A and B are shown apart, each in its own frame.
Chain A
C-alpha cells in the first residue's frame, strides 16, 4: 500500500479519536443528533462512550414509541450533532402537549 493511503488512514484515525474525545467530554450533557438511519433525529443525554459508539438516553425522536430508552449509536452513523454545554444555546424541550 502506498504511503498516500497510509497517511489517509492516519488522518481518519486522528479524526475519529478527536470526535470520541469530544463526545467523551460531553458525557452528562444533552445532545442533538441527525442520522441517515431511522428514526433520523435524536435528542437525549450522553450516558457513556463504548469503544466507538455512544450510549444515549433518548428523550425525543421522530416517533414517541421509540423514546425514553437507551440507544447505542455508532459515531460513523452521526451526520450532524450539537452538544449542549453550560452557557451555550439550549436544545429545545419538546412536548407533544404544548
Chain B
C-alpha cells in the first residue's frame, strides 16, 4: 500500500531537561499536522521540555511504498536521506551527489520522496544538505529521525490512550496473528549545542568548570551536574555526595530522559539508533539480554552493545520485560561510557506489576500516566492499599536517598508489611520480590570485598597509589601482603548455578584528591552484575529510579543472589554507585559461566580453583581448554615512579581523557623497549627486552583456548587483534565468518574460541597507535615441549619432554626467520603457489586535486610498479593482493627505506600526537603482517614478537613469507608491525583478499589479467560468472600538508565553515586527516572554491572526488571489501547509499543492513551487495559511500561514489560481454 507523510524540517528551541538547559538553534523534522502545535507549545514553554519536540518517528509496514512530501523551512537546502530503503537515487536520495540531480529542497521548497520498504526494521533518516560538524550543521543539531518498518499487516496505537498514532517514539504494535509488543525508539545523540538557563554553556558544579558536552537520548539529557546543584544548595538530601544518587528518583523525581514503560512480561523492541554525530557509545540495558542479530537463532547474546553514529540495531529482550525471572522495578538503560553516563545519557525501563489506569501517583505525588495493557496479554491486577504495586510498596522518603533493601544487608532490617505483601513466598537475602533462581537452591557462594591498595603497573614504576579492586576474602591477606599480584577478579561458575554473593565494602570513606581528581566521599559501593538473573529492586548493586539502594557502607556486608540459567560468557561486574569516580582505579571484574560439569585448575600448579584470569578447564564431555581473561582499561590514573602524574587533565575532576592505558592492571609502553640499538623493530622482542609484564597467556601446541575479552574502564573504543589466530564471529553458529579483530567498548564482553595450531609466540594487542604505544599488548605463548609450570590438558596427547632449553633474554636482536624451512599448518602438499614480490619505499602521496599530500609517504608496491611510482607516472594506491582458497601465497618483501626521507629524524613524532610522547626513532626495517590467513607464526606473521625469530627486513635483506589461504575469509587487513609509530599512518598498509577457488583477476577496463589493485573483476571458472570487486581501505591519522607545504591539522582544519572556538580541544586520537585508499576529498577545499553547502558532493560543480569512483552497470554483482588497517582509536561508521548486504555474509538468515559500525584498526568486512549494483531495484545513478560520523569524518574527506551507469560506456566493458 502507499503511505503518505508530510514532513517539515523546522528550526526549533529544544529544551533538554527540567533545569531549562536548551539548544536555541535546534533543528528537527516534524509532521506537518504537528508543526503549528509544536511551535506554539515551545513558544509557551521556553524553559521546560515539550513532549512533541522529539526525533520524528513514523511507521510503515514491510512491502509498503512510502511517499514523503518534504518541506524545508530551514535557512539552507536540506533533505531526508533514508538508510535501508530501496529508492530511485536520482529522485529520492535526499542528497546532491555526483552527477545526480539534487534531491534536496531549498529553503521554503518541497520535494516528494518515494521509498520502498522491502524489509522490516529501522530506516534511519537524516539530512545531507548541510554536513557541517559545527553548530551551523543540521544533523548535529537534531535533524534526524526514523521510519520504523513493521511486519506486513501491523498497526500501531498510543500506549497511553490506545488510539491510533501517526508519529511518536513510543507505540504499541499489533498484528492479526503475532503478539503485540511495546516499541520504544531510542535515539542517542551527542555534541549538540546546549546552553543553560542563562544562555551560557552549562557549568559542572563539582569542578566549577564548563560541563562535558551534550550526550543525550531523544533530545534530552539528565546530567549529574544539575542534580548536584540541588544537593549543594540543600534543596534535597544535603548529606549525600552526588554521584551515588544521580539516578535516584526518591531524591530528585524522575529524569527528563525517556522512561520506557511496560508491564512485567510484555514483549518489547527497543529501536536503538545513533542519530548523531561523533562518539561510539555502548548501549547497556540492565536485567535484559538480546540476540545481536534477531533474525537468526545462531546469534551471540548481548547485554551491552557498541553503536556508532548513524547506525542502528533492534534490541529485542529475551523473555520480554523483566526477563526470564520476571523482575519488576526500574531497569536503567544507559551509555556505559562513564563521562557520557554522568553527563546525562541514560533513561529507565519501568516495569510495573499492577495496572496503571491514571488513578495512581508516584511517591512524590506526580500522577502515573495510564498504560494500556497489551490486548493479548493478561491484564495486571489493579493496585490495592495492601498491594499497591511498584513503586508504592517501597518505604522510601521523597527528597532523601532510596532506602536500603530488606533482608540483604547482614544485620539489616526485616520487611515491612507492604513489602511482605509484595514479596515472593520464599523471600530471602538478595531475592525478595522475584525468585531469581527459579526455585533452584544456592550451590555456589563467594565472599568478596572491595579494597584500596597501591598497584604498580610496570617495571618502570608507573603506579596507581589508589588502586581499588575486588578480592576474594580468602585472598585478602595474600594480596595485601604482596604475596599475590593484584589482578581483576574473575570467578568461574558452572552453568545452571544459583549463586550467593556476600559482598563487603572495605574501602575508606574518601577517595583522596590529586592532579586527576577532586576529593570524593565514595562512602558506599555495590556489586552490579550483567547477564545473570537477579531481582533488580534489591540486587542491582545500584540506586536507580524508585528502586532500593542496593549498596553498602564501609564495614557492611550485603548478600546478593543470581542465577546463571545457561552457559553465558563472561559477565561483567563493577560498582554502580561511584563508577565515574573510581572504576578507572580498577573496580571491575568478571564471572564466567562455564559449561556444566566443568572443573577449574590453576594452569601453573594444577590446584583446583574457582577464580583467576588464567585457568585450565576440564570437562567430561567437551574438549578441555585454557580460559584467559583480558580487561582493557583507559583513563588509568597513573603516576610515574617519581610521583609525577601521567597525562593529568587540565584541571582535577575533568573527564577529558585523563591518564593512560593498561590491560589487567599492567602495561608495557613501547618507549621503554628500544633496546641498545634503538630500533623499534625489536620493541616486541623478548630476546632484546625480556617478556612484557602484561599477561602472557600460556598453552601447549594444539590446545583449545577461550579468550574472554572485556573492557573495565572507562570511556574509549579499543581494537583487539590477535596476530596469527582467528575465531568465529557468532560463536553459536557454524556458518559464521571468521575474524581476528574485535572492537570493544566498556562493559561489552566477548568470548573467542579457537585452537592454537602451532608452537610460538602470538601477539595480542589493542592495536590502535596510542593504545599499543602505551603498552596494551602481550603474548600468547604456545609450547611444543613440556614446561614445568604448565599442566597439560588431560584429553590431549602429553607434550614431549623438553629436550632443548627455553630461550633466554640476550639483549640482541634475534636471527632472521627462515619461512622456507616451514609450511603453514594444514596446507596441502601440492598447494598451488602464488608469488608476489613487494617493495617498501618512500614516495610522496597526493591525496586530492587540491594538492593536499603526504610528502613522506611510505608504501608497499609490487616490484614492477616501483619505477612508475617513483617517476610520478603512477600515484600510489594501497597494495591489494589476492589469493584463492587453497593457495600457498609467497610474498617476498624488501625494504628500500632511507633514513633521510623520514620526517622526524630526531625520534620525536609530534603529529598526529599520542599520549606520553617519547623518543622513538624511525626504523629502517619493515614487515608485512596479514590477518586471517594461516601461517607459521614463528616465520611468516610479519612480527618480531616474544621469542620468535626476526620477521622484519632491513636494507639489503629480503624475506619470503608463506601464507596459506585456508578458507574463504574474504578481506584481510595488512600492515607493517616493525614500527607502528613511524610507518603505519604514512601508508604502510594494504589488504589481502581471499577469493573462491578457481578465480582469476582482471582489470575492469581492459579485462586483462592483473596481479593487484583495488578495483577488479573476479571471474570464476566454477561458477561461470564474474563479479566486480571494489576494495575500500578506510584509514585515518594521516599527516597531510597542503600545496604550500603547510601542515594541515585536521580535523579542525577541515571544519566547515570554520571550527567552533569552543571545539579547540580535540582528543589525541581525533587528530590527523582521513580518507579511503590514500585519497581524501576534504570538503573544505571545495567549500573555499564554491561556498555552497548543498553542492559539496556534486560532480557537476567540482568534478569527481579524488577518492575512488567505482563503476558498474545496473544489477552487476558487486562485492565491496572494506578494511581499516590504520590506525587511530576513533571508530567510524561506513554507509553506502541505496544498497544493503548481510550483517554476516555467511548466514542466510542474517539481518540485511546498509552500514557497518565501529570500524577501527584491524577490521575487515565483506559486503556482498544484495541485488547487485543499484540495489534491489537496480536503479542507475551515483551512490555515495561514506562515513556516518558527521563529526569529524565526512567534512574531512571520508566519502566517495559508486557510479551505476544506465548506458553502456565505451571505457567500461559490461560483465555480460565476457
Contacts and interface: CB of A to CB of B under 8 A. Distances in A.
Interface of A: 41, 62-64, 92, 94-98
11 contacts: A41-B621, A63-B496, A63-B566, A64-B440, A64-B496, A64-B596, A92-B620, A94-B596, A95-B597, A96-B494, A96-B496
Given A41-B621, A63-B496, A64-B496, A96 B443 contact: yes
Interface of B is mostly: loop
Nearest to B567: A62
B599 A96 contact: no
B597 A94 contact: yes
Interface string B579-619: 00000000000000000110100000000000000000000
A72 to B, nearest CB: 23
B497 interface: yes
B497 A96 contact: yes
A1 to B, nearest CB: 32
Contact of A96 (B566, B597, B620): B597
Nearest to B622: A41
A94 B566 contact: no
Contacts of B494: 96
Nearest to A41: B621
A92 B566 contact: no
Interface string B423-446: 000000000000000001001000
User: Which of B443, B566, B620, B621 is most buried by chain A, counting CB atoms within 10 A of its CB?
Assistant: B621
A96 B443 CA distance: 9
Contacts of B497: 96
Closest 10 CB pairs of A and B: A92-B620, A94-B597, A64-B496, A98-B599, A94-B620, A97-B443, A96-B494, A96-B596, A96-B496, A96-B443
Interface string B615-643: 00000110000000000000000000000
A69 to B, nearest CB: 16
Nearest to A97: B443
A98 to B, nearest CB: 6
Interface of B: 440, 443, 494, 496-497, 566, 596-597, 599, 620-621
Given A92-B620, A96-B497, A62 B596 contact: yes
A89 B494 CA distance: 25
Nearest to B497: A96
A44 to B, nearest CB: 14
Contacts of A92: 597, 620-621
A83 B294 CA distance: 38
B619 to A, nearest CB: 10
A94 B621 CA distance: 9
Contacts of A94: 596-597, 620-621
A81 B566 CA distance: 24
Nearest to A34: B621
A64 B564 CA distance: 12
B616 to A, nearest CB: 15
Contacts of A98: 597, 599
A63 to B, nearest CB: 7
Contacts of A63: 496, 566
Contacts, number: 25
A73 to B, nearest CB: 18
A82 B597 CA distance: 20
A11 B440 CA distance: 48
A97 B442 CA distance: 11
A95 B443 CA distance: 12
A97 B596 CA distance: 10
A15 B566 CA distance: 37
A41 B621 CA distance: 10
Contacts of B566: 62-63
Given A96-B443, A96-B494, A96-B496, 12 more contacts: A41-B621, A62-B566, A62-B596, A63-B566, A64-B596, A92-B597, A92-B621, A94-B597, A94-B621, A95-B597, A96-B497, A96-B597
A62 B599 CA distance: 16
Contacts of B597: 92, 94-96, 98
Contacts of A41: 621
A63 B620 CA distance: 16
Contacts of B596: 62, 64, 94, 96
A61 B788 CA distance: 37
Contacts of A97: 443
B663 to A, nearest CB: 32
B618 to A, nearest CB: 10
Contacts of B620: 92, 94
A82 to B, nearest CB: 12
Nearest to A39: B566
B325 to A, nearest CB: 14
A98 B492 CA distance: 14
A31 to B, nearest CB: 14
Nearest to A94: B597
A96 B599 CA distance: 10
A7 B440 CA distance: 53
Contacts of B599: 98
Contacts of A64: 440, 496, 596
Contacts of A96: 443, 494, 496-497, 596-597
A92 B599 CA distance: 14
Nearest to A98: B599
Contacts of B621: 41, 92, 94
A62 B732 CA distance: 15
Nearest to B494: A96
A89 to B, nearest CB: 12
Nearest to B596: A96
User: Which of B440, B494, B496, B599 is most buried by chain A, counting CB atoms within 10 A of its CB?
Assistant: B496
Contacts of A62: 566, 596
Nearest to A67: B496
A58 to B, nearest CB: 14
A17 to B, nearest CB: 30
A79 to B, nearest CB: 13
B636 to A, nearest CB: 38
A62 B494 CA distance: 12
A62 B496 CA distance: 9
B889 to A, nearest CB: 37
A63 B593 CA distance: 13
A97 B445 CA distance: 12
B214 to A, nearest CB: 46
User: Which of B496, B596, B599 is most buried by chain A, counting CB atoms within 10 A of its CB?
Assistant: B596
Contacts of B443: 96-97
B435 to A, nearest CB: 14
Nearest to A95: B597
A64 to B, nearest CB: 5
A98 B566 CA distance: 18
Contacts of B496: 63-64, 96
A98 B497 CA distance: 13
A6 to B, nearest CB: 34
B1144 to A, nearest CB: 20
A75 B443 CA distance: 36
B436 to A, nearest CB: 15
A24 B596 CA distance: 30
B532 to A, nearest CB: 16
Nearest to A93: B620
A41 B494 CA distance: 17
A17 B1144 CA distance: 42
A46 B443 CA distance: 30
A64 B441 CA distance: 12
A92 B496 CA distance: 19
A97 B496 CA distance: 11
A68 to B, nearest CB: 14
A95 B596 CA distance: 9
B441 to A, nearest CB: 11
A83 to B, nearest CB: 16
Nearest to B598: A98
A97 B441 CA distance: 12
Nearest to B595: A62
B762 to A, nearest CB: 32
A62 B620 CA distance: 13
Nearest to A32: B621
